[in-house]
Structure 1
Amino acid sequence: MAASGPPSAAVTPAAKTRDLRLDFFRGLALLFIFLNHIPNNAVSWISNRNYGFSDATEAFVFISGYSVFLAYGAAMQKQGFVIGLARIWRRVWQIYTAHVFLFIIFIAQIAWLATRYNLDLAEEMNIAPLFEAPHILMLQALLLKFRPVNMDVLPMYIALMAAFPPVMWLLQRRPHSVLAASFLLWLAVQFKHWNLPAYPDGNWFFNPLAWQFLFVLGAWCAMHRQSAPWRRLPVAPVTILAALYLIFALLIVLSWLHMSWAGYVPDALARLLYPIDKTEMDIWRLLHFLAQAWLVVLLVKPDAAFLGWRSSQLLILCGRHSLHVFCAGIFLSFAGHFILSEIAAGLVAQMVVSLTGIGLMVALAALMTWYKTVESGRTASGQVGA
């Protein structure tokens, strides 16, 4: 049973020194998401999606929950629920506005290219109904019920953020009970398949009722970052189990690529494994992410030398401006898909498209950092003048 009050880690302001690991791995996840959204792209083989059951989405959601608690937990603790609610919902409005803007730009991009070059692109990206009833689709898009292909992550994030204020308020008072309730909701979804409705039919691709567990788990870990209860686990056995599970997942994934290997997977194990569902964050995906996270926390310290490398600093910039970089990645991934499907499809073209997209995303992050620095300088000068 959780203590009656929040532990000291919950009320201690975030450390002044920023944990660069959060920005680094969030930036890496954003680049992986961009590469994975380009079909038939050999460069996407560098992403973790191809070597296990989970992919960059799990890391993105977990780090988002961790970061949200760091950003707003202290304010809610000191200033009260209403102030914390207002601050979080202000951020939700910013993300929602970005989603709507991205939706308009994205469908304009797809519609123009589809009508000019290949109408099949509209069907492939799930915007064909737009030509028949644009007023209905626009309304459904504003309600987050209609989404083109590759635009499912932000609506899930908006839903998780919008519902998070009461969760965080309770988390600061009954942290273990909230985490247990979050897990039970995830578990119920695995059996009951509860989900939110989508338009024109079906459900949300990323079910927020399931993915909320990773978000809450991230916030719970941020709350306990100083006491770190996971450090009480026996390191050697957990590390061995995590490594063995990652090897097991790798072998299963390899059996998908080499049909001759599929015969080595026992039928009983195949029935237990499949389908490895992404919509409801299947147990196999969850365990795979937790195994990766355990090894990362164990092996990558906050002062790891590689975090100071130039290439790492570029990823850190992307992680610090995740919303802008993510939106740019969605736009660029379809542009890359169009180039590879309609203009050139070879390995060289795939590398050029991928590297160009990554370069543009990094450049955007650098531009946002420069702009923020300039604005901070102007604000400071104005305060001194006053």
Structure 2
Amino acid sequence: MLEQAGSADMTSLYGRQGYPSYAGYRDLRFDFMRGFAMLSVVAAHLEFFSWFNFLFWERLGIISAAEMFVVTAGLVLGLVNRKVVEREGMARVTERLWRRSFVLWRALVVTVLLIIVVRSLGLIDMTAVTTFTDRFAGQVYPMIPAPEVPWYDQLALVLTMRVSPHQIQILGLYVFLLAGAPLALWLLHRRLLGVFFGLTWALYFAGWQMPPDTPLLGMQFEYAFPLMMYQVLFTHALAVGFFRVEIAVWLADPLRRRLAVGITVALALGFFIFAQATPNPSFPAWSRLNLILGERFQAIYDVWFVKKHPGLLRLLNVAAFFGALYALLTYFWQPLNKALGWLLIPLGEASLYVFLMHLIFIVLIDQIPGYFDVIPDWNGVWPTRIWINTALYLGTMLGLWALVKNKVLFSVVPR
């Protein structure tokens, strides 16, 4: 990315407010971004309208937290595993990645089984995590097998990831991305870049030709995150992380660096402005720009920006947003870290733990009468309830932060 190779003092590149050269091996900017992505995840899964919706409901760009997590995971894996490949070989890398893939599969399976057990006790309403409601269409979809389904059929569905709460179904995507990562790393290590990029784009365009909601493997996560299309984000991030030193050397030239940052930021701003033209009726009219007709915006969105069938413009938006955010953290790390690092870095460092534990807060808030029962929009919450919703959101984030800081169930819940 925008890192200078070697041990040179980065203040000469990034200024006194920039990311320090003595920050250590772990890049805290990635943890900061993962923590930021977790803010977006919780805002999406707490299905009520708060002030944070103006940030996280595709208003910073046509992007989602899921894509940021996929990109960050690829970057970190590429960066870390290059050293492992060179030092210990591909066998060790494969072992590490397959073990992590198994941990994610086990976390998903155990979580779903716990939800089924708690639902069977009948002590608490589990609707928020056992169903998905399309509130605009008025359609309810079961995410967990009905109680009357035989236990052995339920177990088979859970073990094969054919059922799961929609809030954590992306774990299924990660299981397969990590399982396939050793092959991608081997191609990068052998510098077979033509094969690497040819394969990843062939898979992407094959997925593009498939109609939406056509699961390749019949698994729950594929309806929201089709494997053949989302892998392109992961593999490209993996390549950037793997060749980070070479990229940093190329960007060490001031002119190249300014050009790269300028183009990235300009693209991110362009997508940001486009996002403000959304015709989404959940937002008040004063918060939307009348740049193009709503019908025209929707037509462009349906071809190029649908989350579960991401087109090339959405991929470009993800890359531009991620690059611009990384540049922002690189050049203004000191003030941003002081303002938000205390919250976002712990959440990012324990992102899997936070991801799993946020289900508890969703279930608890769903016990409040009237929550998650209506279409979340501005007109339904202004002027009073939006403040209550915002307080619930902030309470959830601070609650998750407190769990992380106190390491609650760290020996049980994977991180």
Which amino acid letter does the alignment assign opposite residue 201 of structure 2? F
Counterpart contact for 1:35–1:333, Cα < 8 Å: no
Residue 14 of structure 2: aligned partner? none
Quote how far apart the aligned CAs of 1:210 are: 1.0
CA-to-partner distance for each residue in 1:142-161, whole Å, 9 max, x for gaps? 11122232221111111111
**Structure 1 residue 355 corresponds to structure 2 residue 394:** yes
Which amino acid letter does the alignment assign opposite residue 355 of structure 2? F
Residue 377 of structure 2: aligned partner? none
2:145 corresponds to which of 126, 129, 153: 129
Residue 299 of structure 2: aligned partner? 271
**For 1:1-386, what aligned pairs fall within 5 Å after superposition?**
16-45=24-53, 47-51=55-59, 52-110=61-119, 122-124=130-132, 126-127=142-143, 129-133=145-149, 134-174=151-191, 176-177=193-194, 178-193=196-211, 195-198=215-218, 203-228=222-247, 231=251, 232=256, 234-235=259-260, 236-252=262-278, 257=283, 264-265=292-293, 270-274=298-302, 276-301=305-330, 304-309=333-338, 311-339=340-368, 341=370, 346-368=385-407
Residue 11 of structure 2: aligned partner? none
Q: Distance in 2 between matches of 1:335 and 1:116?
A: 9
Q: Distance in 1 between matches of 2:300 and 2:58?
A: 21
5+ residue gaps, structure 2, are 6-22, 133-140, 374-380
Number of equivalent positions: 357
What secondary structure is seen at the aligned counterpart in 1 of 2:246? coil
Which deviates the most, 355-364 or 46-55?
Answer: 46-55
Q: Distance in 1 between matches of 2:399 and 2:324?
A: 31
Counterpart contact for 1:24–1:316, Cα < 8 Å: yes
Counterpart contact for 1:72–1:88, Cα < 8 Å: no
CA-to-partner distance for each residue in 1:335-358, whole Å, 9 max, x for gaps? 323436369993354234322221
Q: Distance in 2 between matches of 1:121 and 1:84?
A: 35
Quote how far apart the aligned CAs of 1:278 are: 1.6
What secondary structure is seen at the aligned counterpart in 2 of 1:332? helix
Aligned residues: percent identity?
Answer: 21
CA distance 1:285–1:16, change in 2 (3 Å): same
CA-to-partner distance for each residue in 1:75-118, whole Å, 9 max, x for gaps? 123222222111111111222222122212334455556x7559
CA-to-partner distance for each residue in 1:207-265, whole Å, 9 max, x for gaps? 12111111111111111222227844834455434422321222235677468978942
Quote how far apart the aligned CAs of 1:127 are: 4.3
Q: Distance in 2 between matches of 1:123 and 1:269?
A: 30
5+ residue gaps, structure 1, are 1-8, 10-14, 373-386
Counterpart contact for 1:88–1:162, Cα < 8 Å: yes
Quote how far apart the aligned CAs of 1:183 are: 2.7
Higher helix share: 1
Which amino acid letter does the alignment assign opposite residue 145 of structure 1? R
